[in-house]
Structure 1
Amino acid sequence: MTYLGEGWDSTAVLVGGRWVERRPRRPEIGPQLLRESVVMPWLAPLLPLPVPVPVIVSEAPVVVRHELVPGEEQHALNAVQGRQLGEFLRALHAAPVAEAVERGAGPRRLPIARFRAEVRVPGGEELLARLDGLPADTLVHGDLGPEHVLGRDGALTGVIDFGDLHVGDAAIDLAWALHSTSPEFAGALAEAYGVTRELRERALIWHRLGPWHEVLYGNDIGDPEVVEVGLAGVRDRLGVGVTHG
Structure 2
Amino acid sequence: MTYLGEGWDSTAVLVGGWVERRPRRPEIGPQLLRETVVMPWLAPLLPLPVPVPEVVSADPVVVRHELVPGEEITALTATQGRQLGEFLRALHAAPVSEAVALGAGPMPLPVERFRAEVRVPGGEELLARLDGLPADTLVHGDLGPEHVLGRDGVLTGVIDFGDLHVGDAAIDLAWALHSTPPEFADALAQAYGVTSELRERALVWHQLGPWHEVLYGNDIGDPETVEVGLAGVLERLKRG
TM class by smaller structure: over 0.9
Secondary structure of the 1:88 match is helix
Match of residue 243 from structure 1: none
Cα deviation, 1:187-237, whole Å, max 9, x if unaligned, reads 000000000000000000000000000000000000111111101101110
Give the TM-score normalised by structure 2: 0.99
Match of residue 217 from structure 2: 218
Distance 2:195 2:150 in 1: 27
Task: Kindly report structure 1 stretches of 4+ aligned residues shifted beyond 3 Å.
Answer: none
Match of residue 14 from structure 1: 14
Match of residue 31 from structure 2: 32
1:238 shift after superposition: 1.0
Alignment of 1:116-155 (within 5 A): 116-155=115-154
Cα deviation, 1:22-67, whole Å, max 9, x if unaligned, reads 0000000000000000000000000000000000000100000000
Distance 2:14 2:157 in 1: 17
Secondary structure of the 2:55 match is strand
Measured on the aligned residues, the alpha-carbon RMSD in Å equals 0.8
1:239 shift after superposition: 2.9
Cα deviation, 1:111-156, whole Å, max 9, x if unaligned, reads 0010000000111111001100000000000000000000000000
Match of residue 46 from structure 1: 45
Distance 1:168 1:239 in 2: 25
Distance 1:184 1:159 in 2: 20
The runs of 5 or more residues in structure 1 that have no matched partner are: 241-245
Identity %: 88
Secondary structure of the 1:87 match is helix
Cα deviation, 1:75-129, whole Å, max 9, x if unaligned, reads 1110000000000000000000000000000000000010000000111111001
Match of residue 229 from structure 2: 230
Find out whether 1:239 has 2:238 as its counterpart. yes
Distance 2:224 2:238 in 1: 20
The runs of 5 or more residues in structure 2 that have no matched partner are: none
Q: How many residues align?
A: 239
Distance 1:161 1:2 in 2: 18
Give the TM-score normalised by structure 1: 0.97
